[in-house]
Amino acid sequence: MTQAEAKNVNVWYDSFQALKDISMTFEPNTVTALIGPSGCGKSTFLRLFNRMNDLIPLFRVEGLVTVNGQNVYSKDIRLDEMRKKVGMVFQKPNPFPKSIFENVAYGLRVNGISNRKEIEETVERSLKQAALWDEVKDSLKKSAMELSGGQQQRLCIARALAVQPKLILMDEPASALDPISTNRIEELIFELKKDYTIIIVTHNLQQAGRISDATAFFYLGELVEFNLTKKIFLNPDNERTQNYITGRFG
Amino acid sequence: MNTKQLKQRIAFSIFGTMSFIVVAILVIILGFIVIRGMSAISWEFLTEMPKDGMTKGGIFPAIVGTGCLVLGSMVFAFPIGVLSGIYINEYLTESWLKKFLRMMTNNLAGVPSIVFGLFGMALFVNYLSFGDSIIAGSMTLGLLALPVVIRLTEEALKTVDDNLRLGSYALGATKIQTIQKVVIPIAFPNIMTGLILSIGRVSGETAPILFTVAAYFLPRLPHSLSDQVMALPYHLYVLATSGTNMEESRPMAYGTALVLVSIVLIINVSASLLRRRIQKKVKMN
């Protein structure tokens, strides 16, 4: 079954059309990279899947966006329920100024889980999945603000995993990190693929090449080309893709 | 030294001098009041009723009165101010309504305090028949404090990084959960500071209490919210301009001024201490 899908999606900010007739499907347990120059609409597209764009004034969408077969823009959907099923990792690590433990437990608490044992188990499992457990297991009560940038980003990933989403959206998750931390995040994404479906926006083409199964190239609000990553990087069909990949523009 | 460096030096020394002048003014005012008022301060002055046409005795009822009014005004202004600050900053998007509310709040802050006094008299004292009372005076002072509380709450909320709100929504939190569990805890130290600073502001106001609560001479403590009270700023005004024996009550006036200024200073200092403490605690949790 398809994990997520966009069908003939158009997006406007007021009169500016940010996305033009985009159709894409995302298969389970794959990593899809969205690439393209700044302002091409890839972040806007990513944020359709958990309706983060709703908060932007004058945002308007047409077409169908589904996650797990459910129309996320349907009128009778509960926004908080829907967002729980879609994890998101932001460009800049944004842990809450709470303890490491409370950061991971937050998503559980706001979704009504109060059983202490269940919370503790989930926190541990999530931190292990995010490859952070060994570094923080003795200091769970410490403030998340005391972690390094790379650790904070892995904490944010753990936080997202704790509510057991199926789909994880990542908006340039490593662009604010040093090369070593970036490497760890990339390894982590590769691991997470076993259990999750990941859509990642990245400006780093090597990164897209290393971690993704499929790649989509966006340009001026259009989906220029969407194919297996190998195909996109070695033998793209479209000349604009070729030019972007080889660094001739963008 | 070349001319560029010279110009820079001159510019900075002018800026520096100006800021020292500001400090000097404060020091002079405080020094003046301390020197003139110190002789009046005694245990008796702080704890007894005024006597002999307010030339002897103490200012205890005025201290208690100001305490009641500050407390009363905050009970009134805190909830209304903080909640509307949250509404304006968290719930409203950039729209005409938000601009309108902001503009009105700013205008409310610009209304001269004597006008608040007159309005308080018309509404609370006469129309609602509270009479000259603590409740009428507190509400009038509360109105005066409202725009300050709203503004400072808004400013405090604005300092909270939007990415934290988004992070919370992305985990399935509702708006009210996000405000409760993420936004308010982070903004809390700054909101508290704003509240305490507005207390400082309110405790020194004379005009709003003039027609609504303040008693010229009332050497007893209030029994209920519908009692009149003496208050420090008004007492100071009385002692300085319309006492029965101006010459003899002069030191009492400076003593009252010293007490009033000390209270405001103590409030302001404790505001910043409190903020630092809470900030540390918030970081820990």
The yes-or-no verdict on residue B284 having pLDDT over 60 is: no
Classify domain B62-284 at the CATH topology level: MetI-like fold (1.10.3720)
* Confidence band, pLDDT 50/70/90 cuts, at residue B283: low
Residues of A in contact with B94 (CB under 8 A): 57
Q: What is the pLDDT of residues B264-274, one digit of tens each?
A: 988 888 888 88
Q: Which residues lie below 8 Å from residue B175, measured CB to CB, with a gap of 6+? A: B90, B91, B169
ipTM of the complex, rounded to two decimals: 0.91
Question: For residue B135, is pLDDT > 70?
Answer: yes
pLDDT at res. A5: 93
Residues of B in contact with A110 (CB under 8 A): 168, 171-174, 177, 181
Please answer yes or no on whether B173 and A80 come within 8 Å at the CB atom.
yes
- In chain B, where the domains are located: 62-284
Q: Regarding predicted confidence, which is higher, B224 or A224?
A: A224
Say what the pLDDT of residue B158 is. Answer: 93
For residue B59, the model assigns a pLDDT of: 86
The model's confidence at residue B243, banded by pLDDT at 50, 70 and 90, is low
Contact A57 B171 (CB under 8 A): no
Q: Report pLDDT for A197.
A: 95
Residue A102 is predicted with a pLDDT of 95
**Which residues from chain A sit within 8 angstroms of residue B171, using beta carbons?**
83-84, 106-107, 110-111, 159-160, 163
Residue B21 has pLDDT above 70, yes or no: yes
Percent above pLDDT 90 for chain B: 47
Note the pLDDT of residue B281.
67
Q: What are B92-114's pLDDT values in tens digits?
A: 887 889 899 989 999 998 999 99
Average pLDDT over residues B192-202: 85
- Residues of A with CB below 8 A from B285's CB? 97-99, 102, 143
Rounded to the nearest angstrom, the minimum Cα separation between B164 and chain A is: 6
- pLDDT of B246 strictly over 80: no
Q: What is the mean pLDDT of each run of 10 residues along chain A (250 residues)?
A: 90 93 94 92 94 89 92 90 92 93 95 92 93 92 92 94 93 89 90 93 92 94 94 91 82
